[in-house]
């Protein structure tokens, strides 16, 4: 969870980053396709705040209370502009940094064709990559499909040391499932939730059996039983693994542990 700044801190070192082109607030079905920008507070705004004798009421609350307030005011209503609270706080460095952290921590960030250019810019800003918590890789919609390898490429600067907690992506075969789960658990060590979309309509009995066995291996390796959340209109099943703390690779020496073989697939071995 992103930590908030102490009210006594003069200014956060986190730069105001660009918002992703397509985001959606938690529990919202809407997605946005236009890129938004959060510019740095203008000199005029900073001067205005510095000359104000009375501090903003928000600064009188503890950081935890402010974070709770921010979490209820950062949903995107108009895809052509930033949330109103973020705009209002641009002239206050401390509060602006805090609301940005809440924005990146609580929204879902989508990787698809429409957002690739924005992700290219974002990939150069490690401060932002470290704040993001929830990422979806879109591969079910034909005109928005992207390759899975784009995900580790974007997060390469913080691969293995980021704060991503929730991740969704698509798999087509049992081999893809094993390789991709092994890769994300290695590169995203704070994951609490991993979801996979599987196109069940393409499977025969034999292929379906292979996929089920591959998911059984994941269940056993990480010690968490998979669950199915939904089946989409395109006959794609969504399965997920979730843990209240985090999904981890068991340490060597335990009776059963997960390892990545030379081809990067998950295997269960005896310790």
DSSP 194-245: EEEEEEGGG--HHHHHHHHHHHHHHHHHHT---EEEEE-TTSEEEEEEE-SS
Per-residue model confidence as pLDDT tens digits over 128-159: 899 999 999 976 666 667 889 899 999 999 99
> DSSP letters along 105-120, please?
HHSEEEESGGGHHHHH
State the Cα–Cα distance between residues 136 and 196, nearest whole angstrom: 10
Q: Supply the pLDDT for residue 239.
A: 94
Choose between 215 and 202: higher pLDDT: 215
Question: Which is nearest to 236 in space by CA: 110, 126, 141?
Answer: 141
Question: Among the ranges 56-70, 134-148, 199-213, which has the highest mean pLDDT value?
Answer: 56-70
Per-residue model confidence as pLDDT tens digits over 226-259: 999 877 666 788 999 999 998 886 654 433 344 4
**pTM (predicted TM-score):** 0.69
State the Cα–Cα distance between residues 94 and 96, nearest whole angstrom: 5
Q: Can you name the residues that pair with 227 across neighbouring β-strands? A: 240
């Amino acid at each position: 969870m992103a930590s908030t700044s102490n009210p006594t801190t003069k200014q956060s070192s986190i730069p105001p980053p660009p918002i992703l082109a397509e985001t959606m607030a938690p529990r919202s079905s809407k997605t946005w396709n236009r890129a938004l920008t959060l510019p740095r507070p203008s000199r005029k705004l900073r001067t205005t705040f510095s000359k104000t004798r009375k501090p903003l009421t928000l600064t009188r609350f503890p950081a935890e209370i402010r974070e709770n307030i921010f979490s209820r005011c950062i949903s995107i209503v108009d895809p052509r502009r930033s949330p109103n609270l973020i705009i209002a706080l641009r002239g206050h460095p401390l509060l602006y940094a805090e609301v940005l952290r809440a924005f990146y921590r609580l929204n879902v960030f989508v990787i698809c064709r429409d957002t690739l250019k924005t992700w290219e810019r974002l990939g150069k800003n490690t401060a932002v990559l470290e704040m993001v918590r929830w990422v979806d890789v879109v591969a079910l919609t034909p005109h928005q499909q992207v390759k899975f390898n784009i995900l580790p490429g974007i997060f390469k600067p913080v691969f293995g040391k980021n704060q991503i907690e929730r991740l969704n992506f698509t798999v087509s075969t049992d081999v893809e499932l094993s390789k991709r789960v092994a890769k994300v658990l290695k590169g995203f060590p704070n994951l609490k939730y991993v979801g996979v979309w599987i196109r069940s309509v393409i499977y025969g009995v034999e292929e379906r059996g292979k996929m089920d066995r591959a998911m059984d291996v994941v269940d056993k390796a990480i010690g968490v039983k998979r669950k199915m959340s939904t089946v989409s209109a395109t006959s794609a099943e969504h399965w997920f693994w979730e843990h209240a703390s985090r999904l981890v690779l068991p340490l060597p020496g335990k009776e059963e542990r997960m390892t990545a073989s030379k081809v990067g697939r998950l295997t269960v071995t005896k310790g």
